Structure 1
C-alpha cells in the first residue's frame, strides 16, 4: 500500500497506459487483463502491471464477492485513502507538540523571575522567525505604551501594512498608546497613507521626520528591540533600564521635532520637495556619501541622486560638498536643522 512518503520517493510511477486501463475499468467494471488487453491493443502483461499500480494507488478496487470484478474510484477518494496515514501521523505530532508546550509553559514564570540579570539585559535573536515570536509575545504583554521608529516607511508592501493594522488594532483596543515615527518619504506611499489613516482613527499617533536615528520598537518602556548591524533579520532585545531609558529619550527628542503625518498631496508637493532638498543639503554639507544620505532619509539611492542633481543645478555647484557649503553660507539651510540628542550620563 502507498503512503505519501512512498509516492514522493517513487515519483512518476503511474504511466500513460494506466489512464487507459483506469478508463476501461470504469466503463466495464472488470479487472480482466485479457479482455482489457484485447480492447486496448496492448499486451496482457502490461495491463496486469497497470491494474496492480492502480490497485496500489487506490484508483481501482476488487469486488469482495468476485475478484475478477473491479470498480474505479474518484481521484479525490483515492487521494483521501493515500493521505490518511500521513494525516494521522501529522495529527499525532501536533498533539504531542501541544502537550510539550503545555507542560513546559509552567516553567516560564520561574525562568523569567530568577534568571540572572545579565541574561535579561541583552538578548541577541538571530532568526526572523524567533524575532517575530518574541515581538508577538511582547505585543501581547504590552499594557500601556508602544513607541517605534520605522525608517524607510515608504517601502513597506501592502501586505505588511495589513498585518500591522491588525496587530495595532488589538493593542489600541486594550487601551495601549501607540506612537510611531516614519520618514517623510512615507507620505508619498499610498499603503502607508491608508495604514496611518486607519490606525489614527483608532487612536494611534504618527509623525514623520526627514532623518531618523534607526529602527526601534519599545514596549512599556521596559523592553526595546533594535536591529542587528549585520543587515540580517535578527534583533537585539534590550531590557537594561538605563539603556532603554536612553533610547526612549532619543525617540522623544525626535518626536518633538517631527511633524504630524499627512500625505504629500495634502501638504503640497512643492513644499515637501523643498524640505527634502534642504535636508539633503544639510547632510551633504557634512561630507556624507550618497548611500548614507539615502539610508538616513529612507529613500532609494536613485531618488537621492536625482534630488542632488536638481540641487547642484540650482546652486551652480560642481560638487556635492560645494552645494552643501554654498547653501549653508547663503542661509538656505541651517535654521531648521534637527536638534542633537542630548548626551545622558550612564
Structure 2
C-alpha cells in the first residue's frame, strides 16, 4: 500500500471511485468485507484486515486521513529541519556579506564643497604616476582658473605621466583655453575636442576617478570619488569611446591656432535640430549659448534658402548633409565640403 502520498495510486486509482464508494457502503452495512475487496479502499486506509481473519473491517475516514497524513507530516518536519539547518549554516556568512558590502560602499565616497573636492583631486593627481585622463564639458574656462590649473596640469607631465584630455569644440574659439592647451601639449599632453555633450571626469592611474554630480540650485558643489575597479573600468570605456570620436587639437610650428571646426559644430547643431530639439536643449547638450545655436541655424537656413525649421530639415535631407556627416557636400560655394580638422 502506498502511504507516502496524499493521493494513493493503486491500480491507477487516485480518487474514490464509484466501486470504492459502493464497497465501503457495503462494508459499513455488513460490518466488514470478506474475500476480494477493492484495492482502492485498502490504499485509502478505509478498510483494514482483521487480526486472525480474512475479513476487512471499515475504518472511519477521519482515522484513515490521520494514517495517510502521518508520513506526509513527518516529511514536512524533516524538510523544515533541513531548512532550519541551512539557515543556521548560512547565518555566519551574513555578517561577512554586510562587512564586505560596507567595504565596497567605501569605494564610492561623496565629496561636498569645492574645497573638499579640490583637495581630494589634488591628492590623487600628486599620486598619479602613469596615466591621467580628464574630460572638461564646461568649455572655455576663465583666465584666472586656467592660471591656477596650469601648474597642476604640468606637474604630471614632469613625472612622465601620459595625459589625455577632452574638451568641447567651443574651446577652439576661446583664446585663454587654447593658450592653456598649447602649453600642456608642448609638455606631451594629448588634447582632443568633440561636438557633443559629455560629463566631467578625471581618472588617475585607472585606480581613482572623480565625477561631478549635478547639485540642486543653491547647493554646494558635489562630486563622487570612485575607487571601485568595476566602475572605473566602465568610466574608462566611456572615455575611450568619446576619445575615438574626438578631433585632435594640433598647433603647427608657426604657432598658428587650430581651426575652430565650425562645420563640425554646425553639423552637430543641425542633427539635433532635425531630431526636434529646441535651441535650449541643444545649448545644454553641446555647451553652447542659445544665441550661438540660433546663429548657426540661421546661417544654414540662409544657405539653403529655407523659411522654417521644417523646410530646412527637408533641404538638409535632400542634400544628404546629415547622412554623409562632416564630409557631406553643401551647396556650391558653401565650403561645407571641406573638413577642417
Shorter chain as normaliser: what TM range?
Answer: 0.5 to 0.7
- Residue 202 of structure 2 corresponds to residue 220 of structure 1: no
Provide, for residues 112-153 of structure 1, a one-character-per-residue CA deviation record: whole Å limited to 9, x for no partner: xx9942332322212111111111111112121111111132
- Residue 89 of structure 2 corresponds to residue 130 of structure 1: no
Distance 1:254 1:265, change over 3 A: same
What is the Cα deviation at residue 266 of structure 1?
Answer: 4.5
Provide, for residues 282-323 of structure 1, a one-character-per-residue CA deviation record: whole Å limited to 9, x for no partner: 111222221221122221222112212222233344444553
Structure 1 distance, partners of 2:109, 2:309, is 41
- Residue 150 of structure 2 corresponds to residue 161 of structure 1: no
- Which residue is equivalent to 1:229? 214
Distance 1:197 1:321, change over 3 A: same
Match of 1:286 among 275, 284, 287: 275
- Which residue is equivalent to 2:246? 258
SS at match of 1:153: coil
- Residue 231 of structure 2 corresponds to residue 243 of structure 1: yes
Aligned residues: 221
Greater share of helix: 1
SS at match of 1:283: helix
Distance 1:299 1:265, change over 3 A: farther
- Which residue is equivalent to 1:208? 193
- Which residue is equivalent to 1:330? 319
Structure 1: 5+ residue runs without aligned partners?
A: 1-113, 338-346
Q: TM-score by structure 2 length?
A: 0.59
**Conserved 8 A contact 1:280-1:293:** yes
Distance 1:120 1:198, change over 3 A: same
What is the Cα deviation at residue 262 of structure 1?
Answer: 4.1
SS at match of 1:335: helix
Provide, for residues 12-35 of structure 1, a one-character-per-residue CA deviation record: whole Å limited to 9, x for no partner: xxxxxxxxxxxxxxxxxxxxxxxx
- Which residue is equivalent to 1:26? none
Structure 2 distance, partners of 1:336, 1:221, is 33
Bigger mean CA offset, 253-262 vs 185-194: 253-262
Distance 1:329 1:230, change over 3 A: farther
Match of 1:273 among 246, 262, 283: 262
Distance 1:200 1:310, change over 3 A: same
- Which residue is equivalent to 1:148? 134
Structure 1 distance, partners of 2:231, 2:307, is 43
Match of 1:117 among 96, 100, 103: 103
Structure 2 distance, partners of 1:173, 1:115, is 39
SS at match of 1:203: coil
Structure number with greater Rg is 2
- Which residue is equivalent to 1:51? none
Counterparts of 1:50-61 in structure 2, within 5 Å, are: none
Distance 1:335 1:224, change over 3 A: farther
What is the Cα deviation at residue 280 of structure 1?
Answer: 0.5
Structure 2: 5+ residue runs without aligned partners?
A: 1-99, 327-341
Structure 2 distance, partners of 1:266, 1:304, is 23
Structure 1 distance, partners of 2:180, 2:160, is 19
SS at match of 2:197: coil
